[in-house]
């Protein structure tokens, strides 16, 4: 029941500010809807209520502020109680209506936050507008208005609000630094770049403004503009790690080696820039320059030891992961053990890394023990999947499937992951019919996901059910138009069967547009051109794929294209190098034997 409101004849007056300052009874967004420091708005819950007098009535105010009429008090309390009962829509509408009637910014702010919290679209926009209108000096209100305009694609309308926010010197630097995070919802990256350039124009001596332009240009694929802006930022703020990291990313798109060379040059002048050194090491590992990367690892660790802002355990784990990716499994194991000894915050993740590293060192019993250390929780399923794959490799597929069958209390998403893993285990055991039947049953009985249908299609292809494979992959693409692997799988299937080659190339090019520089997709495109007789294009794409990842099947394809081009010695070298690493790969063996002379 609502508290009884005494009539005006009782001569009780209530401060409007007392009501508006009364704590909310439920969660509201705090610190605004848009925060220039990049942090997400937090939600608070306040257990307070409007102050009550000893006789159960509302607390009496003693100052001279205007007396509120009972109608206002009644509606205010109805809004409070509606929120308390979870009727967010009613609560927000009441406070918005009160704000319009009273022209009070505090009521408008409350209405806006209630609407945002409840995701009440038709109320959020007008409430934020009213709040910004009634409190033009509030940074929070102007930020909320800015975010609303950006979210609705009205970048031109957002200009004056962003300009006003950036005019404040105390928030300008952080504002520019997080400008592109703020604008990343907008699909028109060229328009975003134009907006950021407009906003940066009044501040030519601000390194942060130049950084924002560079970042927007890079996102818009305007690398020359990005490079010019980031060079200005470096001039204005020499030795700035953030600018150096972005410049490396810009140069990487032109040439990975250019980024590596730049990082080396930067570190000559700024050897304590550990974030840059870590990125250099990651890039070296990515480019298979493992020996050069390993030289950086001790320097990274030493620098982290003397830098209180860096978590030594985290850095040690990162170096361990890079060692693992460099195939230096002994060092990786040592780094992971050091991180464990330093109380690395995610012990379960390290247990998984230790298990994977032990497998690479053929320490299979130890690997199983590491996986078994992961308790019920966020990483338990991943650990059990790793354990099952280990058992499938070292014992039998049936025992591996039993491990996964025993998993309990799985949600639908987890059930699908387990079924996909079991099907993969069966496929590796050459039990393609069983894998197909398992996936077919899942597709019939579980809510379909594009990933599940994709696996079902590939299982159909292995059984030469090509019509089914094609229809399922087309269904996957229709349901998830940005699923690059589905385009690639269909295109590669056409190319491998030497049919529909023009469509194959179109499909694979779409896949690469969605997932640039993917070595498997580059291989597919090269193979499609090979089938069409475009040997020069085929070699170009296959060589690019091989440079990224010398996968045995990519080596088989590249060697075959080189052989037919008359470059026999190169073809033989590629096949022999690949066979020395993976001597049992059937595709590689078949291809190399086909061209023995």
* Residue 454, C-beta contacts closer than 8 angstroms, at least 6 positions apart: 472, 473, 476, 483, 485, 486, 489
- Please give the Cα distance from 232 to 205 (Å, whole number): 9
Residue 184 is predicted with a pLDDT of 77
Helix axes 121-134, 105-117, angle to 10 degrees: 150
From first to last of its 597 residues, the chain has per-residue pLDDT tens of 323 333 333 333 334 443 444 333 223 333 333 222 233 223 322 333 333 333 333 333 344 344 567 778 877 888 788 888 888 888 888 888 887 878 888 887 888 788 778 777 777 777 777 777 787 776 676 666 666 667 666 677 767 767 777 888 888 888 888 777 777 777 788 888 988 999 899 999 999 999 999 999 999 999 999 999 999 999 999 999 999 999 999 999 888 999 999 999 999 999 999 999 999 999 999 888 999 999 999 999 999 998 877 789 999 999 999 999 999 999 999 999 999 999 888 999 999 999 999 999 999 999 999 999 999 999 999 999 999 999 999 999 999 999 999 999 999 999 999 999 999 999 999 999 999 999 999 999 988 789 999 999 999 999 999 999 999 999 999 999 999 999 999 999 999 999 999 999 999 999 999 998 899 999 999 999 999 999 999 999 999 999 888 889 999 999 999 999 999 999 999 998 888 888 888 888 888 888 875
Q: List Cα–Cα distances, 86 to 20, 75, 114, 117, in angstroms.
A: 20, 17, 11, 12
What's the gap between Cα 29 and its chain centre?
Answer: 24
- Which is nearest to 350 in space by CA: 308, 393, 318? 318
- Which is nearest to 58 in space by CA: 71, 45, 77? 77
- 3-state class of 29 per DSSP? strand
- Please give the Cα distance from 508 to 394 (Å, whole number): 36
- Please give the Cα distance from 399 to 391 (Å, whole number): 7
Residue 28 is predicted with a pLDDT of 31
- Please give the Cα distance from 522 to 558 (Å, whole number): 11
- Please give the Cα distance from 325 to 438 (Å, whole number): 33
Which CATH fold would you assign to the domain 1-152? Answer: 1.25.40
Residue 580 is predicted with a pLDDT of 86
pTM confidence score: 0.69
User: Nearest 5°: CA angle at 495, between 494 and 497?
Assistant: 65
């Amino acid at each position: 029941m609502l508290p009884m409101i005494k009539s005006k004849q009782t001569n009780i007056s209530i401060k409007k500010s007392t009501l508006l300052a009364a704590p909310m009874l439920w969660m509201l967004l705090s610190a605004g809807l848009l925060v220039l420091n990049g942090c997400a708005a937090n939600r608070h819950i306040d257990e307070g209520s409007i102050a009550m007098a000893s006789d159960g009535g509302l607390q009496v105010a003693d100052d001279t502020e205007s007396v509120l009429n009972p109608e206002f008090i009644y509606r205010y309390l109805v809004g409070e109680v509606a929120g308390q009962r979870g009727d967010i829509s009613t609560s927000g509408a009441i406070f918005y209506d009160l704000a319009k009637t009273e022209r009070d910014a505090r009521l408008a702010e409350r209405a806006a936050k209630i609407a945002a919290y409840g995701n009440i679209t038709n109320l959020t926009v007008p409430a934020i507008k009213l709040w910004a209108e009634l409190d033009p000096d509030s940074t929070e209100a102007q930020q909320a208005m800015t975010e609303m305009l950006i979210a609705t694609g009205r970048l031109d309308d957002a200009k004056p609000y962003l300009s006003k926010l950036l005019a404040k010197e105390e928030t300008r630097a952080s504002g520019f630094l997080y400008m592109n995070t703020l604008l990343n919802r907008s699909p028109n990256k060229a328009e975003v770049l134009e907006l950021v350039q407009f906003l940066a124009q009044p501040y030519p001596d601000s390194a942060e403004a130049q950084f924002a332009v560079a970042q927007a240009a890079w996102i818009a694929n305007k690398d020359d503009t990005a490079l010019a802006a980031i060079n200005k930022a470096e001039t204005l703020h020499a030795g700035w790690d953030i600018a150096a990291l972005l410049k490396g990313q810009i140069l990487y798109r032109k040439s990975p080696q250019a980024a590596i060379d730049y990082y080396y040059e930067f570190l000559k002048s700024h050897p304590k820039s550990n974030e840059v050194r870590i990125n250099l090491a990651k890039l070296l590992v990515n480019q298979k320059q493992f020996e050069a990367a390993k030289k950086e690892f001790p320097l990274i660790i030493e620098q982290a030891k003397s830098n209180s802002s860096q978590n030594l355990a985290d850095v040690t784990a990162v170096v361990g992961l890079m060692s693992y990716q460099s195939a230096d499994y002994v060092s990786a194991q040592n780094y992971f053990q050091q991180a464990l000894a330093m109380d690395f915050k995610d012990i379960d993740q390290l247990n998984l890394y230790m298990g994977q590293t032990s497998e690479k060192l053929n320490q299979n019993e130890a690997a199983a023990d590491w996986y078994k250390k992961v308790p019920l929780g966020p990483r338990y399923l991943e650990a059990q999947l790793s354990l099952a794959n280990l058992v499938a490799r070292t014992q039998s597929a049936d025992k591996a499937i039993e491990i996964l069958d025993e998993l309990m209390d799985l949600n639908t998403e987890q059930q699908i992951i387990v079924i996909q893993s079991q099907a993969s285990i069966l496929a590796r055991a050459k039990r393609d019919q069983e894998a197909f039947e398992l996936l077919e049953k899942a597709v019939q009985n579980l809510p379909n996901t594009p990933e599940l249908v994709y696996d079902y299609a590939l299982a159909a292809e292995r059984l030469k059910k090509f019509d089914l494979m094609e229809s399922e992959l087309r269904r996957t693409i229709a349901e998830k138009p940005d699923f690059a692997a589905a385009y690639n799988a269909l295109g590669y299937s056409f190319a491998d069967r030497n049919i529909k080659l023009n469509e194959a190339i179109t499909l694979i090019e779409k896949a690469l547009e969605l997932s640039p520089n993917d070595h498997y997709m580059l291989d597919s495109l090269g193979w499609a051109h090979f089938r069409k007789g475009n040997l020069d294009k085929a070699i170009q794409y296959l060589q690019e794929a091989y440079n990224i990842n010398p996968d045995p099947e990519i080596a088989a394809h590249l060697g075959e294209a080189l052989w037919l081009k008359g470059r026999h010695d190169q073809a033989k070298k590629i096949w022999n190098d690949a066979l020395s690493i993976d001597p049992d790969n059937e595709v590689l063996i078949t291809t190399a034997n086909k061209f023995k002379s």
